[in-house]
Amino acid sequence: RRDVLVLTPWLAPIVWEGTFNRDILNAQYMQKNLVTGVVTFAVKKYWFFIEGFMSSANKYFLAGHQVNFYLFTDNPEQISHLQMAAENHLFVITVQNHSQWQDISMSRMDIISRYILSQFQYEVDYLYSIDIDVQLFEHIGVEIIDTLVGTISSWQYTARRESKSYETRTESQAAIPKGEGDFYYTASFYGGSVAEVYKLTRACFKGVMEDRKNDIEARWHDESHLNKYLLYHKPTRLLSPEYYWDEEL
């Protein structure tokens, strides 16, 4: 691929179709006997997306490898019988709902870090947080597996640095100084090793709580905090907007 940037200035690969050979990567992944987890939330009306997400993810997400799906929902009764591939597991975890969607969004960080500590670290090597309102149309494979992985937001892909949606108000913990920032990452798909995701979610939630105390809310909520974190803790691998494309574009 010569038409796109395939390597960041800190030598992290940017994953685009055409840059990798999935067979080679599958062989490497299997050598190491790894287990990957997916965390997703279906709270309030979002229960509607569960079936679409789970059936497409079950088919297309790391097909052929063991995946543990951790589905957090306030509506466990709404989950119709979901057929899982033999190698995959589904864990349904009931959560409280909150009044506003932003709160749910931001408390995800807290929930993820707490569950990593109490459960996920014993069950998976790598963990990805993916929004439930997506459907996979193509295989997403082991090319996503690395220590700390962010996905370039499709909305922001061509935007120049100044127009990116970073939080700029210095009162917020998520503030990024003017002129700084490598890429704009989407909070809809990020992940990495369980240890790194723990550090990321802890740091983001700390920022969220600090902002709440100071009565400020970041422009794009947990996504703003994610972007701040990934600016100062560079991802070891980036996924191109192919990996999270908003149909509305």
Partner 1 sequence: RRQDVLTVTPWLAPIVWEGTFNSEILDSAYRPLNLTIGVTAFAIGKYTRFVGHFLESAEKHFMKGYRVNYYIFTDNPETIPDVQLQPGRRFVIVPIKKYPSWQEISMRRMEAINKHIAETSHQEVDYLFCLDIDMVFYNAWGPETLGDIVAAIHPGYFNVPRSQFPYERRSSSAAYIPDGEGDFYYGGAVFGGLVKKVYEFTKTCHMTILMDKANGIMAAWQEESHLNRHFLSHKPSKVLSPEYLWDDRKPKPPEIHLIRFSTVDKNYKEVRD
Distance of CA 34 to the CA centre of its chain: 19
3-class state of residue 25 by DSSP: helix
Is residue 19 at the binding interface for partner 1, with CB under 8 A as the rule?
yes
Stretch that binds partner 1, among 20-28, 62-70, 97-105, 187-195 (CB under 8 A): 20-28
- Annotated active-site residue 138? The verdict is no
Q: Helices 101-115 and 194-213: crossing angle, nearest 10°?
A: 140
Quick check: 30 binds partner 1 (CB under 8 A)? no
Binding-site member from 105, 112, 143, 227 for partner 1 (CB under 8 A): 143
Q: Give which of 106, 91, 72, 113 is closest to 195, Cα–Cα.
A: 113
| Edge-to-edge strand ranges of the sheet holding 126-130 | 14-15, 237-239, 148-152, 185-193, 126-130, 36-42, 67-73, 89-94
77 is in an annotated binding site: no
Q: What angle do CA 51, 55, 56 make, to 5 degrees?
A: 115
- Regarding 158 and contact with partner 1 (CB under 8 A), the answer is no
The answer to whether residue 187 forms part of the interface with partner 1 (CB under 8 A) is: no
User: Taking CB under 8 A as the rule, does residue 179 contact partner 1?
Assistant: no
Catalytic residue among 51, 138, 223, 242: 223
Q: Using CB under 8 A, which of the segments 7-15, 74-82, 88-96, 186-194 binds partner 1?
A: 7-15
Q: Does 175 bind partner 1 (CB under 8 A)?
A: no
- Amino acid making up residue 160: R
Residue placing its CB nearer to partner 1 in the complex, 10 or 122: 10
Which amino acid does the sequence have at 190?
Answer: Y
116 touches 202 (CB < 8 A): no
Task: State the alpha helices, DSSP H only, in the chain.
Answer: 22-31, 50-60, 101-115, 121-123, 194-213, 222-232
Nearer to partner 1 (CB atom), residue 206 or residue 234: 234
Nearer to partner 1, 11 or 249 (CB): 11
| Residue closer to partner 1 (CB basis): 108 or 237 | 237
Binding residues for UDP-N-acetyl-alpha-D-galactosamine, as ranges, are 41-43, 46, 131-133
| Interface contacts to partner 1, rule CB under 8 A | 2, 5-7, 9-13, 15, 19-21, 24-25, 28, 143, 234, 237
Task: Report the catalytic residues.
Answer: 223
